[in-house]
Structure 1
Amino acid sequence: MTARTQLLDRAVAQAMSAVSAAAKRGLGDPALAELVAIRASQLNHCAFCLDMHLEIARKHGVREQQLDLLAAWEEAGDDLFDERERTALALTEAVTVLTDGFVPDDVYERAAKHFGERELAHLIGLIVAINNWNRVMVSRRVPPGGYTP
């Protein structure tokens, strides 16, 4: 597969990168940030972002078994994903899919119990940022393999 276009306005790319970086810094947990990015990218079928964030996750020490079973995190059990990770993944799915047009109250309230107000704001910012990147890459059909750290 070849990309429809490689063109992405530099100012747009810089702004999107700045949002992503700020959200990750504010969350303060690089491994969790990568799990969130990977899960959203799975849901959005973004091969480029999956390829990139899987590589970054490994560098941050995310276990291979977590990466292998991330698509089935709800069934994987509490031993593989702790409650904080499970909460972040549930929020990621709710924000990414928005099947009912909103994030369900119980998902948000659960997240608010596990993340402080600032952390939660950064987590939501991170989820929104990766969804933006997914849509930019998928709409242009950018194939995996072009990521360089």
Structure 2
Amino acid sequence: MTVRTRALDPAVARALSALSAAAKEGLGDPALAELVVIRASQLNRCAFCLDMHLAIARQYGVSERQLDLLAAWEEAGDVFDERERAALALTEAVTVLTEGFVPDEVYARAAEHFDDARLAHLLGLVVAINNWNRMMVARRIPPGGHTP
């Protein structure tokens, strides 16, 4: 594997950072935001983002049990509450788009737990981390080098 060291254009980095920050702030739950970005990063196999966001999640008090079981959240019983499970289901549906769209029942489930504004911020967060993941994976940026 060859690391591609070409720097990300500062304007692109600022735009992605602004979207990420606005989405996290609007969601209003930093621990949940980190669970969402970690799950998307797992699906996208982005080691850089996983390394960075696992450290940030711990700073926000996300439990080691949740971090350990996040990849199997659907089978993890009561480790994740219904709101977290709805957010993670939406994260997976938007990230993978297996059927080419987000299933209505997944969107409706999320809408039960998030008002319109928070749902828009959740979607913005998922879109932002997917963009970051793709930038880092495409450039083969290894984990490390980020200080939260």
Structure 2: any 5+ residue segments left out of the alignment? none
**Matched residue, 2:47:** 47
**Matched residue, 1:115:** 114
Taking the TM superposition and a 5 Å limit, the aligned residue runs for 1:1-149 are 3-78=3-78, 80-149=79-148
| CA displacement at 1:148 relative to structure 2 | 1.6
The range that moved more, 32-41 or 1-10, is: 1-10
CA distance in 2, matches of 1:55, 1:2: 25
**What letter corresponds to residue 89 of structure 1 in structure 2?**
L
RMSD: 0.8
**What letter corresponds to residue 39 of structure 2 in structure 1?**
R
Equivalenced residues, count: 148
| CA displacement at 1:2 relative to structure 2 | 5.2
SS in 2 for 1:146: coil
CA deviation digits over 1:118-145, x for unaligned, max 9?
0000000000000000000000000001
Q: Percent same amino acid at aligned positions?
A: 79
CA distance in 1, matches of 2:7, 2:138: 12
- On the 8 A contact 1:2/1:143 being kept in 2, the answer is no
CA distance in 1, matches of 2:85, 2:144: 29
**What letter corresponds to residue 145 of structure 1 in structure 2?**
G
CA distance in 2, matches of 1:28, 1:144: 27
- On the 8 A contact 1:36/1:89 being kept in 2, the answer is yes
CA distance in 1, matches of 2:2, 2:101: 35
SS in 1 for 2:146: coil
| CA displacement at 1:6 relative to structure 2 | 3.9
CA deviation digits over 1:23-73, x for unaligned, max 9?
000000000000000000000000000000000000000000000000000
SS in 2 for 1:85: helix
- On the 8 A contact 1:2/1:142 being kept in 2, the answer is no
CA distance in 2, matches of 1:63, 1:26: 23
**What letter corresponds to residue 27 of structure 1 in structure 2?**
L
CA distance in 1, matches of 2:3, 2:76: 35
**What letter corresponds to residue 68 of structure 1 in structure 2?**
D
